[in-house]
Structure 1
């Protein structure tokens, strides 16, 4: 397979077996702030935004299957399996996918640890979620979906309004339809927006993202 991105942050988050190890680590970072600034920043907690390893039409066999693909592909790469699909559906608003305690406290990064958003909530202010298109978005197996021709269409399904709420009748019939006449809400990443508002046919095969919903204690 292709080489993965250097130093995926998920694999470096194994501080130990519990809260004590994490507390000690953070405390040592604070004590040695001048000498360990770089190390502390590398190991700081963050929420990863990662793409599934293949593009998908609007038929993902439903939200539960999309979530399961995120869970299983994360687990296969040795990451904590705390990932769910970055989509809204008829029974879910994307903005609420991340656990409440993690929505404003942690930056959202790519798999290498490059910051994309200062926190989860900042994606959904209504301005389309601007992204720096020079920052790669990696799949779980380490490919840059913005550059890799395996994803010919550089758009992402999200089924949402710019505020991260479900977009009525724009979720490819609850992510079970790929008919050309059925529509889903998407965003062209090359436009520099993660939450752009483009209604497209569910027959298109687009990038599907997964978001880390929380950190284990």
Structure 2
């Protein structure tokens, strides 16, 4: 397979039956895809083969072996997932928000590294995602398409968020319709081009009184429609998967 990679178009998926491995064709060669065991929280997330339950009257019940859930490759993409509750602008700093993204992803047994979709004086929003993966599609927790890719979030000419596609929290709430999020907007503190805006990040996400932060409503324009909010407001905090979990082999 390594000798024939140039004959396969970039973006192709290949599954090797032995030893049950999947590979993604990149511009530099084959990248092994991490296979996740399907134990879905939602009906449409990572479908699996149902366990076969033997008939109680079967004479051969000792010889029947249950079918284990299948292990399937995840299509290369980056997930955007909201924290389980809305937050004020005081998140104990950007690393405090990152820590909450990490912990909630771990609690739900999600592979991948998640960081808060926030900018500060030490971090621009556009630089969060790994460069090699900024062309991957952006999807929600169920794998439904939200945006063409990471770079498109900062392109004012594109309509981004697909109408009617939910954005889920880590515990499965649709934050676009759930009353727990009364303000349908998310913190980011960023300009339309993804750079940090001084004085509009709730004092580095450490203060809620006498401070303001930039946020955007959940519309088709995402970052292209932003406004200043009092940091006492409780808004959604989004977490972005900063890289698809490849296993690079070549």
Q: Do they fold alike, i.e. is TM over 0.5?
A: yes
Q: Shorter chain as normaliser: what TM range? A: 0.7 to 0.9
- Per the alignment, residue 66 of structure 1 pairs with 97
- Per the alignment, residue 62 of structure 2 pairs with none
Q: In the aligned structure 1, how far is the partner of 2:115 from the partner of 2:140? A: 15
- Per the alignment, residue 184 of structure 1 pairs with 213
CA RMSD of aligned residues (A): 2.6
Contact 2:202 2:213 in 1 (8 A): yes
- Per the alignment, residue 144 of structure 1 pairs with 174
Give the CA deviation at 1:110.
0.5
Give the CA deviation at 1:133.
3.8
Q: In the aligned structure 1, how far is the partner of 2:74 from the partner of 2:82? A: 22
- Per the alignment, residue 97 of structure 1 pairs with 128
Give the CA deviation at 1:43.
3.4
- Please show how residues 120-159 of structure 1 align to structure 2 within 5 Å: 120-127=150-157, 130-159=160-189
Q: Which has the larger radius of gyration?
A: 2
Normalised by the length of structure 2, the TM-score is 0.68
Give the CA deviation at 1:118.
1.2
3-state SS, counterpart of residue 214 of structure 1: coil
Higher relative contact order at CA 8 Å, sep ≥6: structure 1 or structure 2?
A: 1
Q: In the aligned structure 2, how far is the partner of 1:200 from the partner of 1:186? A: 7
Q: In the aligned structure 2, how far is the partner of 1:91 from the partner of 1:20? A: 42
How many aligned positions are there? Answer: 185
Q: Which runs of 5+ in 2 are unaligned?
A: 1-14, 32-46, 48-72
Give the CA deviation at 1:193.
2.9
Q: In the aligned structure 1, how far is the partner of 2:129 from the partner of 2:231? A: 25
Structure 2 residue 22 is the aligned partner of structure 1 residue 22? yes
Deviations 1:97-139 (A, max 9, x none): 00111011x1000011111111110111135863224110000
- Per the alignment, residue 193 of structure 1 pairs with 221
- Per the alignment, residue 114 of structure 1 pairs with 144
Normalised by the length of structure 1, the TM-score is 0.78
